[in-house]
Amino acid sequence: MNSIPSIDKADRYVSHLSRLAQNDPGRRSALRRGLGRPVDDPMVRKAHAVVVPWLPTRPGRAVESAYYSVAALIAAQPVGRRGGTPETEALDPPATPEGEEKSKRPTTSIGGTLGLAVRDNKLNPVTVEARLHLVCRQDVTGLHRQLPGLVRQLAAKELTPDWGRLLVDLSWWERGRDRVAKGWLQDFYRAMNNTTEDNGSESENQ
């Protein structure tokens, strides 16, 4: 059974997290403590109450880590910039976590977001390029340890990743790391060099 979330489900999860982080300081703090930590770390225990209702039945390591990591990253964002998706509203956790129809909304990978920031002279190209390559070489554990630093670079310039797309990409890391990493890097160089108007290809959920 495919436990990779559709972009629609990812967007609903992000909207739920964004509203919770805005309105519930206790939950926000619990999620933020898991930043960069593996799911079995004691500091993550209080995040289970928020994340578990959204998890597939048998999520696998990469999918499980993706849900917890995105929750922690959103909770760690400055107030007013936790994101969400304007196309969706925060809803209760879905009763059936798999098998949803995929959305056709345009998505932007984190590589594309970083590339646009470099193009607009908001981030140093050498530093960002090196960090992105480092992140793309990681296994699941290393990825989630390194990712907060990459997102902090965006936050420092008041930029926010496409959280829904990020959740989907992270969920594929165990089964398709090379494909996802290639997409991030291609989006980065494409956006940085402004070679196309579409700087974030739609996520491949198949």
Q: Given a cut of 50, is residue 137 above it in pLDDT? A: yes
If one counts every other C-beta atom within 10 angstroms of the C-beta of residue 132, the result is 23
First to last CA, the chain: 12
The 10 Å CB-count burial string (b at 16+, else e) for 42-62 is eebeebeebbeebbbeebeeb
pLDDT score for 201: 54
pLDDT digits (tens, 9 = 90+) for 83-115: 544 333 334 444 434 444 555 789 999 999 999
In the numeric block, which tokens belong to residue 105? 């909304």
Supply the DSSP string of 8-22, one letter for each residue: HHHHHHHHHHHHHHH
pLDDT digits (tens, 9 = 90+) for 69-85: 999 999 999 875 545 44
Mean pLDDT taken over the chain? 85
In the numeric block, which tokens belong to residue 145? 């340890």
| Percent of all residues in the chain with a pLDDT value above 70, rounded to a whole number | 81
pLDDT digits (tens, 9 = 90+) for 10-20: 999 999 999 99
